[in-house]
Amino acid sequence: MAPCMTPCQQEIYNLVSDQLKLPEPTIIILNAEPGSGLSTLMEKITNTIGSACVPLTSRPAISGRNLLEAFYYHLGLGAEGISHRAPVPTFISPLIELQPIVGVLIEDIDDFAVTIPMRKMAIGHLSKIASALPGMSLIISQTLSRWDRDHSIRHNDIDGAQRRYEFYLRSFSGLSQFIDHFQCTTASLGLHDVSNLELTRLYEITGGNLASTMQHLCHPLLKHKWK
């Protein structure tokens, strides 16, 4: 069963969906606190967009590809040997126009920006894609404070004619929203005896963090902390 989205996830999902329905191409950056459910949100967005988006979800540490190389690979051009230092070839735009593609979805851009030089390269690649394909939208996600230093990418770092939006995902807006969500979630997990007092204790232990709360709910070694 797919995880139930939190109100914060649902709100951003609705905002992104509304923007993508508009004819104007857009650069959307989704910033998230660690453990706030960014992967679930991106999965929902990806499933909704489907084949209308080029999904760049490969991890550079595993694939060995930088951002632009991953982009070419997903277009079926991995064997062409196109240098990431060169401009995006002019044949890319008509190639994309032959397909029902309206955007590029880049999950965890912070994987491409682990160091300052990598961040600079990632921004350069994003700018090349956005500038060469002005009719394309870019949906970019990143987890803030994931690394020791802030390597986050802002929308004004990227060259291109697209409109710009940034959204910030957090786990919950407060205790009340936390309790409302987990009253439903615990029942779906078969945990029917979790009281509001225990949920309040969980909120205090985890700071309301979605991922940490799910661990405390489901892991037998962590249940004793709040039961």
CATH of the domain at 90: 3.40.50.300
As a whole number of angstroms, the distance between CA 86 and CA 98 comes to 23
In the chain, the amino acid numbered 200 is T
Residues 94 and 195 in one domain: no
The span from the CA of 128 to the CA of 21, in Å, is 24
Q: Are 178 and 216 in contact (CB under 8 A)?
A: no
| Whole-angstrom distance, CA of residue 78 vs CA of residue 94 | 18
**Nearest CA to 54 among 3, 104, 92, 126?**
104
Q: In DSSP terms, which residues pair with 167 in a beta bridge?
A: 30
- Among 219, 56, 52, which residue's Cα sits nearest to residue 141? 56
Closest to 212 in 3D by CA, of 192, 226, 193: 226
Q: Whole domain around residue 203: which residue ranges?
A: 175-218
Angle (nearest 5°) at CA 49 between 169 and 88: 95
Give the number of other CB atoms < 10 A from CB of residue 32. Answer: 27
Tens place of pLDDT per residue across the chain (227 aa): 456 899 999 999 999 999 988 889 999 999 999 999 999 999 999 998 888 888 887 777 778 889 999 999 888 887 567 888 888 999 999 988 888 888 999 999 999 988 889 999 999 999 999 999 999 999 999 998 766 567 789 999 999 999 999 999 999 999 999 999 998 888 888 787 889 999 999 999 999 999 999 999 888 777 767 77
Which residue type occupies 178? F
Residue 210 phi/psi, 5-degree rounding, is -60, -50
Is residue 14 in some structural domain?
yes
The H or E element that residue 123 is part of is helix 116-132
* Burial degree of 140 (CB within 10 A; 0-12, 13-18, 19+): buried
Same domain, 163 and 72: yes
Within-domain flag for 137: yes
Tell me whether residue 223 is in a domain.
Answer: no
One domain for residues 128 and 203: no
For tokens 């609705």, what's the residue?
Answer: 14
Is 114 found in the same domain as 38? yes
